[in-house]
Amino acid sequence: MQESPGGHHPTVKIGKLGPSLCEEISSDPCAIVIFGASGDLTKRKLLPALFCLFRNKLLSKGFFILGLARTDISEESFRTDMEKAVKKAGNFDHVAWEEFGKRLHYFPTDYSEGSLRKAREYMDDKALTHSTGRNRILYLSTPPSVYSSIIESIASSGLASEDGGWTRIVIEKPYGRDLESARALEKTVEKHFREEQVFRIDHYLGKDTVQNIMMFRFANSIFEPIWNRHFIDHVQITASESLGIEKRAGYYEEAGVLRDMFQNHMLQVLSFVGMEPPSVYKSEMVRDERVKVFRALRPLDRESLRDNLVLGQYVEGEVNGKSARGYREEDGVNRRSAVSTFAAMKLFIDNWRWQGVPFYLRSGKRLKSRFTQVTIQFRAVPHQMFSGIFEEEIGPNAVIIRIQPDERIQLKFHAKNPGSRMCLRDVVMDFGYTEGYEGLVLDAYERVLMDCMIGDKMLFIRSDAMEMSWEWLSPALDYSEERGQGAPELCLYRAGSYGPVEAERFIGRDGRKWVNYER
């Protein structure tokens, strides 16, 4: 149990489960084909994740990685570039890399049908060398604008065929930029792949604490009975980023915060918080329940959005002691850009469990600190018998599920201070997710890559869920992009703050406050 900041911080003791309950499993033999392998995502995330899985003996002995990209470099140069990227990511092991590097190949391609046919011949040769059989993962790490054309070339070149093994295609976000483009992309995908072959990735769902929301709720009898409108006052989901747009101006000018964060990450976390318990813990049953949450979302319209959506954009300020440029001063950004870098939204899930309980979603760039958390705030006790006794206000009880930067679950409640006087103090029961655990901890990309290799789709987005999330959010996207008379106000906020003051007033109208990050 941990006292609120400034006090003593005792910790909860964690029991240990037997190793048979927690063993990791290794992947199937397969070829991992990365389209766009010379790009930033491959260097920062994919190769370090795959190397970590290899180093921890979670990959099958039969595997290899084939990088495909337009960049005309040699295989040896590609290996050297990837080695530098993995070293930069940390936890490098020279002995492991010697073996890993032998399984790392490269083939330059322009993604045309003819070029991919040659790449397929090269891949088939390496499949014999590395004993992967006909199993392959096709990972699209390219700009989303070329997804459809690459998928058509994959199909016409024969790469989509299974030939006695399995073929899985992994598609990174953004999956379209609106409902119409998402449906068009889905039509292309459906033409060449069955739904069970398609893995729409959202790395947020690979974070252990997101998955632990289900365990926390459904494995503990003290929480699930009160996880409803009778006991919960409201729910907050916050994804706060201290970084700006970095070198992604071209993408962000087209996307904005609603496309970048709400359509995928925020709504996917919401589905775990709001879902009903599946009858059996199986991938499709869990995904069924998450889809039901999207079906129950109260539709948005222009009038409700005026009261339930705040949009903002950062101006120059200071983040972590360093000066930060405003959004419009970032390289590649239109100097009159009206793109929102912050949004706060109130929504409702219209079903038996959640009717009338507001869900507040908030996300933004260049905020005070980087954190993602879910706050479940409970209703006040029905009768304040201590009214007038304490000078301080008796605040609400809350469960805080921290997804990043430090994965933990906290339970806030009240207790009397020691001594003769009646003084109240807030205390926090604090569970650090990795405290007391000595096994391997996989990061988000390591987890979702592993799940793809073993064919577990629980943490991937199904086509109906993807389409419903776009359909529900479309009115907000249209409203946010209106210009001229009647357009929504774009509230400016200083870099390094918690967002625009209008967001504080927005939740304050309901008599509530945002819960920010506390160590």
Show which residues are catalytic. 265
**Is the CB of residue 198 less than 8 Å from the CB of residue 391?**
no
The lowest-confidence range among 22-31, 190-199, 354-363 is 22-31
Give the pLDDT confidence of 266-285 residue by residue, as tens digits: 999 999 999 999 999 898 99
pLDDT value of position 277: 94
- C-alpha torsion sign, points 441, 445, 450, 452: positive
- 3 state DSSP class of 410: strand
The domains of the chain are located at: 25-201, 205-508
Q: What is the pLDDT of residues 111-169, one digit of tens each?
A: 999 999 999 999 999 999 999 999 999 999 998 889 999 999 999 999 998 888 999 99
CATH homologous superfamily of 25-201: NAD(P)-binding Rossmann-like Domain (3.40.50.720)
- How large is the average pLDDT for residues 453-471? 93
pLDDT digits 0-9 by tens, 204-214 = 888 888 888 88
User: By C-alpha distance, which of 349, 350, 375, 352 is closest to 362?
Assistant: 375
pLDDT at 26: 67
Q: What is the pLDDT of residues 32-86, one digit of tens each?
A: 999 999 998 999 999 999 999 999 999 988 999 999 999 999 999 999 999 999 9
Average pLDDT taken over every residue of the chain = 88
- Stretch 263-267: mean pLDDT: 93
Contact (CB, 8 A) for 41 and 69: no
Question: Regarding predicted confidence, which is higher, 266 or 1?
Answer: 266
423 pLDDT tier (thresholds 50, 70, 90)? low
The dihedral region occupied by 234, where left means phi > 0, alpha psi between -120 and 50, and beta the remainder, is beta
The 10s digit of each residue's pLDDT in 308-354 is: 999 999 999 999 889 999 999 999 999 999 999 999 999 999 999 99
Express as a percent the part of the chain with pLDDT over 70.
90
Answer yes or no: is pLDDT of 25 > 80: no
| Alpha carbon distance, N-terminus to C-terminus of the chain | 14
Q: Alpha helices, DSSP H only, in 312-404?
A: none
Tens digits of residue pLDDT in 477-500: 999 999 878 789 999 999 999 999
- The per-residue pLDDT for 24 is 55
Question: What share of the chain has pLDDT > 90, as a percent?
Answer: 68
pLDDT tens digit sequence for 288-309: 999 999 999 999 999 999 999 9
Instruction: Summarize pLDDT for 365-394 with one digit per residue, the tens.
Output: 999 999 999 999 999 876 565 565 555 666
What is the Cα–Cα distance from 307 to 381, expressed in whole angstroms? 29
Helices (H), 131-207: 147-157, 179-192
Multiple choice CATH, 205-508, 3.30.360.10, 3.30.2130.30, 1.10.1760.20, 1.10.10.10: 3.30.360.10
